Amino acid sequence: MIIVMKQGAAQPDVESVVKRVEELGYKVHLSRGEARTIVGIIGADEHKINQENFEVMDGVEKTMRVMQPFKLASRDFTHSDTVINVRGLPVGGKQVVVMAGPCSVESRAMIIETAHMVKEGGATVLRGGAFKPRSSPYSFQGMGEEGLKYLAEAREETGLSIITEVMSVDEVELVGEYTDIFQVGARNNQNYSLLKALGKTNKPVFLKRGISGTINELLMGAEYILSGGNMQVMVCERGIRTYETATRNTFDVNAIPLLKDLTHLPVCADPAHGTGMVKLVPAISKAAVAAGADVLMVEVHPDPKRAWSDGAQSLDPQQFARLMTELKPIATAVGRGI
């Protein structure tokens, strides 16, 4: 349930509403918008609360039941777009943020070289996996902490922020020491222990939709992180499993406006995984920006043919630079910058 305060409601009125909610044994989420404040009520059986008891309080305009199972992630709770500050870079604002880099960190020289290339192309965040969730246990599993160190070094050299995947609860602390944004991969969309652990950190989390995950499940995954107290969550469409095998995944472009409608969190798109094929990445990147994505994540490798993982969906630096040039007019056409 949410309690919408009147425009310009006095602070003591807000405080007494909050106090009353807490007395009833529920948690409160306060969202102070430009025009009005919204008091969100979170608890297992909040539907038992009598709305009328709040509607008669001073400063209260109305109360509303939130129909969706996700509360903190819902647009009803927080009306305006959440803008996440990543080392001074706003994510979710007017500028479309491009995160680019290799699928895996393969060596020190490779990640630093790629960092320079993507920075030149216009990326503001460097991606690179150090812990890799590979389908086969025999495939390259990532460089681990060594990879994290190289990412940090690339950040030093280029000034780019870094994003890298964290796969398990026991890695959270280690990865958190290095990274600016935690990435939760598609396979961990519903790893609730991991999500809870990330909810207790104070770093932004980039949550990917599960391979066969519904939009509802994605937002419930985000809710796990938010309910732990970490309000800096981005949600990412990366293609879903369907019967079609002409592409690696089916990029569900509907997810972008749907998520923008349902949640205030920044919405990201990953056309590399969404298609699985380099020759489709530019068209789908443009479509994602046109559909309203706040963030684009692309895989870029200095020599995709020699990439240790995901080479078929990685752009080379020239292709990336060309794509960035082509994305600018699309961003402008939807009233944004890149």
Partner 1 sequence: MIVVMQPGASGAEIEAVIRRAEQMGCKPHPIYGESRTVIALVGDLTRVSREVFDEMHGVANTMRIQEQHKLTNRTTRPDNTVVKIAGSAVRIGGDEVIVMAGPCSVEGRSQLIETAIAVKEAGAKVLRGGAFKPRTSPYDFQGMGEEGLQYLAEAREITGLPVITEVMTVEQVPMVAEYADILQIGARNMQNYGLLNAVGKVNRPVLLKRGMSGLLKELLLCAEYIASNGNYNIILCERGIRTYETATRNTFDLNAVPVLKQSSHLPVAADPSHGTGYREYVPAMCKASVAAGADALLLEVHPDPDKAVSDGRQTISVETFAKLMKDLRRIAEAVDRYIDEDDDDEAFLDLSELAELEVA
Q: Which is nearer to partner 1, 109 or 283 (CB)?
A: 283
Site membership for partner 1, residue 69 (CB under 8 A) = no
Taken in order 183, 188, 189, 190, is the CA torsion positive or negative?
A: negative
Extended beta strands in 58-147, E state: 60-64, 84-86, 89-91, 97-101, 125-127
- Measured CA angle at 150 (ends 222, 305), to 5 deg: 85
What is the Cα–Cα distance from 250 to 245, expressed in whole angstroms?
9
Site membership for partner 1, residue 73 (CB under 8 A) = no
Q: Which two tokens stand for residue 41?
A: 């009520």
Site membership for partner 1, residue 190 (CB under 8 A) = no
Q: Tell which one of 256, 300, 315, 323 touches partner 1 (CB under 8 A).
A: 256
Which positions from 193 through 212 interact with partner 1, judged by CB under 8 A? 212
Cβ count within 10 A of residue 85:
12
Q: Would you tell me the crossing angle of helices 215-227 and 255-262 to the nearest 10 degrees?
A: 40
Q: Which is nearer to partner 1, 174 or 211 (CB)?
A: 211
What is the Cα–Cα distance from 138 to 140, expressed in whole angstroms?
7
Task: Name the minimum Å distance from CB 262 to partner 1.
Answer: 9
Site string for partner 1, 265-294 (x = CB under 8 A): ---------xx---xx--xx-xxxxxxx--
Q: Which is nearer to partner 1, 288 or 300 (CB)?
A: 288
Task: Name the minimum Å distance from CB 243 to partner 1.
Answer: 6
Site string for partner 1, 219-248 (x = CB under 8 A): ---------------------x-xxxxxx-
Q: How many residues bind partner 1 (CB under 8 A)?
A: 40
What is the Cα–Cα distance from 38 to 29, expressed in whole angstroms?
8
Q: Which residues bind partner 1 (CB under 8 A)?
A: 212, 214-216, 240, 242-247, 250-254, 256-258, 260-261, 274-275, 279-280, 283-284, 286-292, 326, 329-330, 332-334
